[in-house]
Structure formats: structure tokens, C-alpha cells
Chain A
Amino acid sequence: MTFTTKLEIFEGPLDLLLHLIKINEVEISDIPIATITDQYLEYLDLMKALDINIAGDFLVMASTLMHIKSKMLLPKQEDDLAEIEDPREEIVRSLTEYMQLKDAANELASRDILYRDVFKRGIEMKGGGEDITTTKVTLYDLMDDFKKVIRKKHPDIVLKFNAESWSIKKKMIEIIRILNEKKNLLLGDLFSTMESVSEMIATFLALLELIRTGFVNVFQGRESSDIMLEAINEKT
């Protein structure tokens, strides 16, 4: 069974504080510090309960809030009342500054952004000119080539898959051995010595497995249609 909790993820402590100020509908310049601090800590507990990793920044803010809260509780001295600084002042300043920047960020993001809203001349289409020497080979290219190889040897054969004695695993080992010797190889040459269709199919399946697992790379020259194989040795 699954259930989802609707929990806003706040990117940082300032985001969370702004949210709390907003839901409490209080003035940023006159934050009820005790209430906000309690809610802030509750939120951190909730994050802990949900196993959300709490960044250190959240904890720093928590201690700042508690510090302000304790300062607010201290009785003010009558004589220098006028000079006493509101302990919330610094946090109000950073919140205001942060909001101002958030606002500016929204405004920037809503401009006519290049490549998103507007376009300049001469942008290259995707996939044009990645690599000039080789092109990517698809499974269909491989299968086409394989069919050609089979046709050359057995012009009138119908491909049938029987339970036969060729082991794909053994073929995989064989292909790796050949490729380690020869560095690279034409796909056709891999099959040149084989007579039985089922052996060729086993070899082909072994090759597919090697490509899938990243031991063998297939590529094709731009000009010729011959598919080449090479072993990838630097596997970690």
C-alpha cells in the first residue's frame, strides 16, 4: 500500500520561515518569534520523522531563532530602552533581502529567454554533427547485416530457431577472444568461418549480449556501410 504526504519541501531555512510567516498571516517586521520558532522546530521534527535529510543550515537557523526567543523573554532595562535593538532585527533584514531577491529571480525568469521563448539565427538541430567519423548503429542495422551474412551463405534458408547445442556463453567468450586478438573486426568476418545457421544465430545473440553489457562496441564508418566491432577493455 502506498500513500503520499503533501509536504512542501523547502530548499532552505529562509524559505521555510517565509512560509510560516505567510500561513500565520503576520507582518514580516513584527514576527511573533515564539510561535514561529515553535512551528519551525515542529517542522524540523516532521522532516526527521519522514526521514528527510536535514541540512545543517536548518539547524543553524533553529538555534538563531531560539536565541532570539530567549532574548525577547529577558526583561528590558528601563533606562536604555530607546537604545535597545530589537533582537529580531537581523533576521527581518535577511528575510526582506531574500524576498527581494526571490522577487527579482521571478522577474528574470519571466523574461523572453533565449532558446526557451525566443531564438536566434543559426541554431544547429539536435543530432547534427556530433561525431563526424562514425555513426551510431541500431539493432536493425545489425540485424540487416546479419541477414546479409546468412543470405550469402544460405541463399534460400528460412530462419528457424531450434533448441540446439550452441551455447551463447561460449560464443561470448569466443567473440571476446577474437576481438582481443584483432582489435577490431568486420561484422561479416566474425561469421566467415561458420557453416551452421544455428551457430551463426548463437553467435549473433552472444554479440548482442556483449553489446548490451558494454563489452563490445559497434560502429559504422560514415562512407561505407560495413559494421565494425571492437572490444571495450577499460571496464571498471
Chain B
Amino acid sequence: MDNHLKLTVEALLFASGEPLNPRQIRDLLPGKDLKDIKKALKELKDEYETMKRSFLIKEVAEGYQFRSLPKFKPYIANMLMSTQSRLSKPAMETLTIIAYKQPIIRQEIERLRGVEVGGILKMLLKKGLIRIVGRKSLPGRPIIYGTTKKFLEVFDLKDLSSLPTLKEIEELDDGEEE
């Protein structure tokens, strides 16, 4: 294995902060093979895992990114004075519906939740977690919503197909208690 290539890939990930995908890396390293870059990423990922550092390389939003481990969250949050505004339950439910049922129009979201969601949609758009993907050819040409790359990044998802599968609900207590 080309050790120089591996270290170069590591340097890029380190300096980037944003998730980098193998293609983006190849564009930066002319003449290098996509296959080798993928292999380097995989090896780096494994190495950091075995090293047991305070951070890892994670696969999110179709790329690779250095991320701290959850157990260090209080210290880092303190340092950054992070006042991460949490999503309310209604907002979380709306976002979940969009994530699982996209592309979806507002009317359909409201049918599923049984309540009006106009304000929440605006907020989710502003936060960049959802986006307008088009308009449906129905009367009134309603807006179609979908999730963004940022959604994948924030919720630690490699891609949309890695969303946890919806559970079959039989007993009411299953979902409610947690």
C-alpha cells in the first residue's frame, strides 16, 4: 500500500472539516486511482478505531469526516459555548416524516401528523435540514420537500439508505415508552 497516498488522504481529511468523498479526493490527487483512495480511507478509518483516540473517522453524508467521540461532548460543548438549539418533538417528527417519505408534499405530512406544519417546515428549511425539491403537478402546484446533505451530516447517516428501517408496530407500548 502506498503509504504516502494514505497520509495525503489523512491530511486532506484533517484539514477539511467537511465530509470528503473519494471522488473529491481523487480530483485533488491527479493520477491516483479511485480504488486506491477508497482503500486508503478504509485503512485510515480502521487505524483510528484501533488506536482508541478521542476521535474517529466516520462515514457521513456520503463522505469521510473526523469526529470526536460522544463521551467527550460535555467538554467540547463547554469550550465552544455550544447552545445547540435542539429540535422540538413536533419538529423531530416532521423531519422524520420527510426523511422517510420523501419526496413529500406538505398536505401529506399534515395528514400523517394530524396537525398543521407550516411553521415547522419554514424552520427546518432555515436550518438547512430540508429543501424544496420541486413542485407536484397537482392543483395549486404544491411544493415537494426532501432532506439535505446537512441532514445526513447532522444525524450521522452515511446516506438515506442507512436510515434505520421503520419498525412494525403491533403493541402501543413499544413506541410510546421509549
Contact = CB atoms under 8 A, between A and B. Distances in A.
B114 A103 contact: no
A9 B65 CA distance: 40
B45 to A, nearest CB: 15
Interface in A170-192: none
A27 B99 CA distance: 29
Contact of B156 (A21, A55, A103, A112): A112
Contacts of A94: 111-112, 114
A108 B14 contact: no
Interface in B34-82: 58, 60, 65-70, 73, 76-77, 79-82
A47 interface: no
Interface residues of B, number: 56
Contacts, number: 138
A12 B156 CA distance: 29
Contacts of B16: 121
Given A18-B176, A103-B174, A108-B95, A57 B80 contact: no
Contacts of B163: 108
Contacts of A57: 114-116
Contact of A120 (B67, B70, B111, B116): B67
Interface stretch (A72-80, A122-130, A154-162, A205-213): A122-130
B154 A114 contact: yes
A143 B173 CA distance: 62
Contact of A114 (B93, B111, B153, B178): B153
A108 B91 CA distance: 12
Given A28-B172, A98-B113, A114-B154, A103 B93 contact: no
Contact of A126 (B80, B171, B172): B80
Interface in B95-150: 95-97, 99-100, 111-116
B113 A100 contact: no
A102 B93 contact: yes
The 9 A-B pairs with the shortest beta carbon distances in the complex, nearest first, are A12-B115, A122-B17, A103-B175, A105-B96, A14-B114, A117-B70, A121-B17, A12-B114, A126-B81
Interface of B: 14, 16-18, 58, 60, 65-70, 73, 76-77, 79-84, 86-87, 89-90, 92-93, 95-97, 99-100, 111-116, 153-157, 163-164, 166-169, 171-176, 178
Interface of A: 11-15, 18, 21-22, 27-28, 55, 57, 61, 94, 96-109, 111-123, 125-127
